[in-house]
Structure 1
Amino acid sequence: MTKALIVIDYTVDFVDGKLPCGDPAIAIEKPITELVEQFVAQGDEVVMAVDLHDEQDSYHPETKLFPPHNIRGTSGRNLYGSLMDVYEQHKDRIYWMDKTRYSAFCGTDLDMRLRARGIQEVHLAGVCTDICVLHTAIEAYNLGYKIVVHERAVATFNGQAHVWALEHFRNSLGATTIS
């Protein structure tokens, strides 16, 4: 096992809840679910990197930028749609990881976990292409991982920002994008 799939923030709140990407995020449900099933079947590492906030946390920088979302103990933190079912079926093989910043690496054990398993390549899926997926990719680049972004399995609020982020993955981070 030398690769891992990191599914970033594909939760109810980010798809159609308190901070929704809407139709673009709804459209990636099947591709994300298929990727998770494929990686599990191959015996590769799968990580659910899930945004976590505490209600009325005035110290968190996102409090000033976005409405409350992915609040601890709420259904908004549930994985969206069929991804929740796939997670429940394979939760012994999928690592659920809470994160409190845009990057899945920031303040988590993700890098140590991947290195302990000899993983050199990270595959990214989820939301938002230009925010949490982008920041995770940048940190993966800085840590020396090979990066693969699945275009059909990422989405965001803004179509122009989505296109810009995909170009940034390729041109500035040397990532492979798969459509």
Structure 2
Amino acid sequence: MKNPKALLIIDYTNDFVDTSGALTTGKPGQKIEPEILKLANTFLKNGDYVIFPTDLHKENDPFHPETKLFPPHNLKNTWGHELYDQVQIWFNNHQTDEHVYYFDKNRYSAFVNTNLDNFLRTHKICSLTLTGVCTDICVLHTAISAYNLNYQLTIPQNAVASFDQNGHTWALTHFKNSLGAQVI
């Protein structure tokens, strides 16, 4: 029996993707939605996992470092924190599937302050495919954590995006050259 794999759909929320989002990637983020949905369907069909690590903040949190760096975004119980468009519909239709896992995170990396590593190891998952936004922030930091924990990484170029094209391009090179990820 093969070890299952996991697709991580990182921070694909209204605030990061919708044109009206507080910290939006805009068109680049919207353009990747069909590929994310295709991958999600393929992973579920193959008996693999689809995981949604999702950024969550409190407004004006004096203890969170992002408060000084970015405008308020992904605030609890707001439209901005909801998954974007068709990905939200996909999640609503599959959220009771035992192979779909959603959790909130409060740092760039989906591994910091969460039980993600424990979840993956419990389910004998060694191979991760990272998608979502932002390529050079949360996807990057999640990839670095995964690398340091010895996970095999795949990054589909057409399923990650950023509001910074230079950062996006740099991160794709870093995934391949410094983290040994398969960039496809």
TM-score w.r.t. the length of structure 1 is 0.98
Aligned length: 178
- 4+ long deviations beyond 4 Å: none
> Equivalent residues in 2 for 1:15-164 (5 A)?
15-16=17-18, 17-93=21-97, 94-164=100-170
**In structure 1, C-alpha distance between the alignment counterparts of 2:85 and 2:72, rounded to whole Å:** 21
Q: CA deviation at 1:55?
A: 1.5
User: Is the counterpart of residue 13 in structure 1 residue 19 in structure 2?
Assistant: no
**In structure 1, C-alpha distance between the alignment counterparts of 2:90 and 2:47, rounded to whole Å:** 15
**In structure 1, C-alpha distance between the alignment counterparts of 2:85 and 2:32, rounded to whole Å:** 11
Q: State the Cα deviation string for residues 18-40 of structure 1 (Å, max 9, x = none).
A: 10011100101111111111111
Q: CA deviation at 1:46?
A: 1.0
**In structure 2, C-alpha distance between the alignment counterparts of 1:74 and 1:2, rounded to whole Å:** 33
**In structure 2, C-alpha distance between the alignment counterparts of 1:79 and 1:43, rounded to whole Å:** 23
Structure 2 partner of 1:2: 4
**In structure 2, C-alpha distance between the alignment counterparts of 1:41 and 1:58, rounded to whole Å:** 43
Q: State the Cα deviation string for residues 73-119 of structure 1 (Å, max 9, x = none).
A: 10111111100111011112211110000000000000000000000
The amino acid of 1:109's aligned partner reads N
The RMSD of aligned alpha carbons is 0.7
Q: Percent identity?
A: 52
TM-score w.r.t. the length of structure 2 is 0.95
Q: Which moved more, 1:4-13 or 1:34-43?
A: 34-43
Tell whether the 8 Å contact from 2:6 to 2:48 is kept in structure 1 after alignment: yes
The amino acid of 1:31's aligned partner reads E
The amino acid of 1:15's aligned partner reads V
The amino acid of 1:156's aligned partner reads S
Tell whether the 8 Å contact from 1:120 to 1:146 is kept in structure 2 after alignment: yes
Tell whether the 8 Å contact from 1:148 to 1:175 is kept in structure 2 after alignment: yes
Q: CA deviation at 1:2?
A: 2.6
**In structure 1, C-alpha distance between the alignment counterparts of 2:175 and 2:149, rounded to whole Å:** 15
**In structure 2, C-alpha distance between the alignment counterparts of 1:55 and 1:163, rounded to whole Å:** 31
Secondary structure of residue in 2 paired with 1:130:
helix
The amino acid of 1:130's aligned partner reads D
